[in-house]
Amino acid sequence: MGGLQKKKYERGSATNYITRNKARKKLQLSLADFRRLCILKGIYPHEPKHKKKVNKGSTAPRTFYLLKDIRFLLHEPIVRKFREYKVFVRKLRKAYGKAEWTGVERLRDNKPGYKLDHIIKERYPTFIDALRDIDDALSMCFLFSTFARTGKCHVQTIMLCRRLTVEWMNYLVTSRSLRKVFISIKGIYYQAEVLGQLITWLVPYQFAHDHPTDVDYRVMATFTEMYTTLFGFINFRLYQTLNLVYPPKLDSKSESELKAEHEEDYAMDSESYLEKLSALSASLARVVATAEEEENQLDQFPAEGEDLENMEAREKEQKEQEAQNRLFEGLKFFLNREVPRESLAFILRCFGAEVSWDKSLCIGGTYDVTDETITHQIVDRPDIDKQYINRYYIQPQWVFDSVNAKMCLPVEDYFLGVTLPPHLSPFVEEKDGDYVPPEKLKLIALQRGEKHVQDDEEEDDDDDEEDNDEVDDEDLTEEKNLKKMEDQRSQGKTLAVKVTPGKVKPWETGSMGNKVRLEQEEKAEEKRLAIMMMKKKEKYLYDKIMFGKKRTTREANKLAAKRKAHEDTSKAEKKQKKAKKQ
Amino acid sequence: MAAVKRLKRVAALQPGFISFKSSAESDDLNSGRRKRVNKNKKKNWNKHSDIQDVEEFLDDVRLQERATGGLVSEKPDDTLFFVDIGEQKKGVQPEVQERKKGKKSNSRPLRIDLILQHDSLVPPPKDVLAHQQPNAKKLRRIAENAEKLAAMGVLPRRQKRLLSRRPATKTSKAKTAANNFPDRPYYDLWGGEAEETADPYYLEQTGKSRVKRPEKLNAKPSILPAVEVIAPGGSYNPDFFSHQALLLEAHEVEVKREKAELRIERQLAVKQEDTATEETVFQEQVEGLVEEEEDEEEEEEDVSIRGGLQQEKKTEKERKRERADKIKSQQKQAARAFTDKKQQLFQLRSIQATLKRREQRTRERVAQRKANQEAEKSMPRRLGRLKFQAQDLEIQLSDEIPGSLRTLKPEGSVLKDRFKSMQKRNMIEPRERAKFKRRHKVKYVEKRAFKEIT
């Protein structure tokens, strides 16, 4: 009894939140400015758990911010700049209205501006923090740099984005840190590993955009403003780590090489340097002239047991990495007119190849089509008139697939006019027992160094007269293999993926094989015993897991069978067609 | 008076003087009676002495000087006279031609310029002070002194004060360049910074140090990755099955959407019973004309029954019986509860089982809730008036798949993808474009010009 009655909505979650409009009034900003400020400072709206309580009994949907966030915003010096800008606009409008042109000029000279450096520093206290968050910045800058200069956004922004993206690509070329590429219908996905961080970004195709109407360009421009600042600082730091000059300068040697006589035809003087940089065909100048490649050895530590294994694994990984980085080293490419120059040049240069293109295509081509030392020419048309004998004519997909496979794939599948094998996504990682498309299986086998003994496609194309029963035999064996695979998987063994039937199984040959077999049997026995010794609870869990695995394998097998059926039908169709032709 | 007369006489009698004006009025001047005035005072002298003739003479002299550049009497004869030898034919013709030309070329000076021209022949007086300087001697002395001091290396005080003044800080005046300036410089933002040595409290109070950003703000509002890679079926040259899988996914989305649409349509559909038939129309028309009395009577009866019940009173006997019944039932219940408790001793196993079951259920629910919370982290939240709507899946049908990179037609827009991704990651609230709302009605008025025609 007694005491004052507690009022509603004066404590608890109602006091922790503030509506957007109230926040805006508290900061004395217009809605557009408020939105801009929130984006720049990285303050996002928050959905309260109990909306009705926060909204003082009303259930109307509203945008809420945390009150503490808004209080934090009150300290931001940029808020004052925004207000100043508001006043500036008002004065300018007034001066215009009164036709005071000197006044307009004076006001324009004293236009208030602001910097975002301190915000970047505040949001990303360390460099690695910033690098982790660069995905967005990259995608946005690449997107904006492809915009046409039609007034949808500021031309200066477009130019800045272009400059930053060119710097980024040059960095990747120099540091050789590109890992994966995926050409999708939306755009090209890239993945790079920079200072241990995996960075993924999306680059739109170079075609004209249709500007969607339901996108808020102002919001996007604000994001870009923030991201360009962040991106520039990151670029600076990255260039510093490689001892490169920032802003990037071409090597004096390559600069003289690139000095074309018709330079002014390509671009204006002010633009041609950026164009040359964006051609990516030359190396960059360094602060300290050092040896091109420093072999950085992993430090050796005395280690035991598991550590040792880890170390070995790491060492192996690094070696593989280095091998991948040198994937195209020593090869000389020539890009035809119809292939996407920028992406291909970027990728090829990232793996150490030499690239050139036609003079009319872009600035920066270093050699001509007629160069005899060219090893590969990338062509994307059904046929070409004049062919040189000492070079491969391949389709552009070869480059992308080779990068993803971390090895130079056989060029035969990618020759001119050949139906290409599917372009698989390198971003998919199949788990144990998942369905793996046969192309990928083949690729894995190739990576292991096995030669593909039998090639389905070749079989299709060349050996029409092959006996049917042989095919059947193969089918049978394949089915058997599948069954075996399923059994093995369900037993929980790590599976050695084999796609080469007819190869002599190692345990069927002599005493060596026997030994291996015995070992395996022993292992299986141990496992069975372990299963028997399990507690009831664990057993239950184990059974469950096994059931799940079996299910996935069953599904995978179903898919494989489906694929087989599909291929069979297509094969039959082909045969029919051929028969008709004949 | 006499002096004036004398002067006039002197002027007029000067040898060779030729006056411009005729001196007809001089007779008139002389004709008046002589006035006798004392001229022993300056005032009187000034007032009564007649200087008109002198002034006229001087005026005439000035006029002559202005008009002819000197006294006519002093000029030589050949400047004043010429020998008239009749008309010169040669001289006339070119003049006419010139005049014609002048008309053509329009080079004659304007009249206004002619008026404004300086027409006096007296040269302007020479400025005597033009080459003189006031205080020249003093200034020269000062300069000499300063030179001597400068040679000795002593600066004057003014200069010293100027030099000792701090240079104006450039940063305050320097304009901050726009953030999107294409050649803007960057620097090492995360480089080593000088440690702040001042008192932190002082810095905070004077607003010289920034407020520290709360750690919580650096958390991302969603766990989704910034760039979600499209499914493998979205490759430009996809594997058959992954492409089919993507198509199936898109198909499911479409089916769902269609279902929702159908549902709305169904809800909006007019029921068969609601449509007006002849009968209902008639009913509506006669509504209220036919009285329905039966219902009212029934209602009245109900009311009377209820009132009767309420009025009935319990007897003492009845009350006693009720009380006894109540006590009895309570006892019965208590006994029942007691036996139940006793019985529970024998039900221990089943109770334990139920308990276990319940616990199991709670555990499952906790796990489920946790999983839901985890899943919710990657879901778009409701941040405003509108719900997040995912964009359409980008797909290419089987016959749209290009054979090569050259013939690829890109699907969807990356800009929209980025925008939606930000909405999905709760960075911005979903919004729709503001609709243009007219504040005042538009008034159409026909212009008079049109009115006449129509």
Does the beta-carbon distance from B242 to A183 stay under 8 Å? no
Which amino acid is it at A439? E
Check B180 against A157: CB less than 8 A apart.
Answer: yes
Residue B393 sits at φ, ψ, to 5 deg, of: -65, 135
Q: Are B211 and A75 in contact (CB under 8 A)?
A: yes
Identify the pLDDT of residue A466.
Answer: 40
Q: Which residues contact A212 (CB under 8 A, 6 or more apart)?
A: B413, B415, B416
Q: A397 and A423 in contact (C-beta within 8 Å)?
A: yes
Q: Is A463 on the interface with B (CB under 8 A)?
A: no
The predicted model gives B337-363 an average pLDDT of: 94
**What's the burial of B184, exposed, middle or buried (CB within 10 Å: 0-12/13-18/19+)?**
middle
Polymer length of chain A: 582
What are the tokens at A325?
């980085």
Distance CA A430, CA A11 (A): 51
- pLDDT less than 70: residues of chain A: 1, 208-209, 253-271, 288-306, 432-433, 449-513, 581-582
Spell out which residues of chain B touch residue A395, defining contact as CB-CB under 8 Å.
404-405
| Contacts with B, A 388-417, CB within 8 Å | 395-397
The rounded distance, in Å, linking the Cα atoms of A81 and A537 is 65
Residue A407 CB partners (closer than 8 Å, separation 6+)? A327, A446, A447
**Cα angle: B217, vertex B418, A162; to 5 degrees:** 100
Contact A173, A251 (CB under 8 A): no
Q: What are the angstrom distances between the C-alpha of A233 and each of A54, A120, B193, B294?
A: 40, 9, 16, 90
Tell whether A205 lies on the interface with B, counting CB pairs under 8 A.
yes
pLDDT tens string B382-411: 998 999 999 888 888 888 888 788 888 888
Picking from A127, A185, A274, A439 by the largest number of B CB atoms within 10 A of its own CB, the best residue to mutate is A185
Q: How far are the Cα atoms of A262, B129, B137 from residue B132, in angstroms, in the given order?
A: 68, 5, 11
The number of beta carbons lying within 10 Å of the beta carbon of residue A233 is 22
Q: How does pLDDT run across B9-60, given as a tens digit for each residue?
A: 455 556 567 766 655 444 444 556 677 778 888 888 888 888 889 999 999 9
CA distance A334 to A347: 13
Cα A397 to Cα A400: distance, rounded to the nearest angstrom: 5
d(CA B340, CA B347): 10
Whether chain B has a CB inside 8 Å of the CB on A359: the answer is: no
B406: nearest CB among A380, A437, A559 = A380
Nearest Cα residue in chain B from A210: B413
Q: Which two tokens stand for residue A573?
A: 């169709």
Window 157-186 of A, Cβ < 8 Å to B: 157, 159-160, 163, 182-186
Any long-range contacts for A193-197 (C-beta under 8 Å, 24+ apart)? A194/A131, A194/A238, A195/A128, A195/A131, A195/A241, A197/A128, A197/A131, A197/A132
Please tell me if residue A439 touches chain B, with a CB cutoff of 8 Å: yes
pTM of the shown model: 0.67
- Are the beta carbons of B213 and A72 separated by less than 8 Å? yes
CA neighbor of A46 nearest in space, from A59, A65, A19, A67? A65
**What DSSP state is assigned to residue A509?**
S
CA distance A43 to B147: 68
What token pair was written down for A521?
């049997």
Distance CA A394, CA A353 (A): 15
Report the range out of B7-16, B85-94, B341-350 with the highest average pLDDT: B341-350
Residues of B within 8 A of A61 (CB-CB) are 382, 384-385
Do B405 and A340 make contact, defined as CB atoms within 8 angstroms? yes
Closest alpha carbon to A339 in A397, A384, A414: A397
Candidates A63, A183, A338; nearest CB to B406: A338
Task: For the beta carbon of residue B242, count every other beta carbon within 10 angstroms.
Answer: 20
Q: Pick from A46, A182, A225: which is nearest to B179 by CB?
A: A225
Question: Using the beta-carbon criterion (under 8 Å), do A214 and B433 form an inter-chain contact?
Answer: yes
Q: Which helix (H) or strand (E) is A191 found in, with range?
A: strand A188-194
Quick check: B100 pLDDT over 60?
Answer: no
Question: Does A68 contact B at CB distance below 8 Å?
Answer: yes
B102 pLDDT above the threshold of 70: no
CA A394, A446, A490: angle at the middle one, nearest 5? Answer: 135
Angstrom distance (rounded) from CA A391 to CA A372 = 8
Q: A553: buried, middle or exposed (CB in 10 Å: 19+, 13-18, 0-12)?
A: buried
d(CA B442, CA B439): 9
Q: In the prediction, which pLDDT does B41 show?
A: 87
β-pairing, A178-183 vs A64-66, is unpaired
Measured between beta carbons, which residues in chain B are less than 8 angstroms from residue A214? 416, 432-433
Test A220 with B404 for CB contact under 8 angstroms.
no
Environment class of A263 (CB within 10 Å of its CB; exposed 0-12, middle 13-18, buried 19+): middle
Instruction: Please answer whether residues A576 and A569 qualify as being in contact, where contact means their C-beta atoms are separated by less than 8 angstroms.
Output: no
DSSP B157-201: HHHHHHHHSPPPPHHHHSPPPPTT-TT-----TTS--PPP-S-HH
Contact A205, A211 (CB under 8 A): no
Do the chains contact at A121 and B190, CB–CB below 8 Å? yes
Max Cα-Cα span within chain B: 175
Q: What is the pLDDT of residue A262?
A: 54
Are B405 and A183 an interchain contact pair (Cβ–Cβ within 8 Å)? yes
Task: Provide the chain A residues 321-340 that lie in CB contact (below 8 A) with chain B.
Answer: 338-340
Q: Which two tokens stand for residue A365?
A: 């081509």
- In sequence order, the β-bridge partners of residue A17 are A66
CB contact (8 A) between residue B178 and residue A39: no
CA separation for the pair A374, A334 (Å, rounded): 7
Neighboring chain B residues of A223 at a CB cutoff of 8 Å:
422
Residues in B touching A228 (Cβ below 8 Å): 179-180
User: Using CB atoms, which residue from A44, A115, A156 is nearest to B426?
Assistant: A44
Q: Are strands A392-394 and A376-378 parallel, antiparallel or unpaired?
A: parallel
A537 touches B at CB < 8 Å: no
Tell me the HSE value of A198 on the side-chain side, using a 13 A CA sphere: 9
Sequence letter at residue A579 = A
Minimum Cα–Cα distance from B379: chain A residue: A47
CB distance A357 to A341 below 8 Å = yes
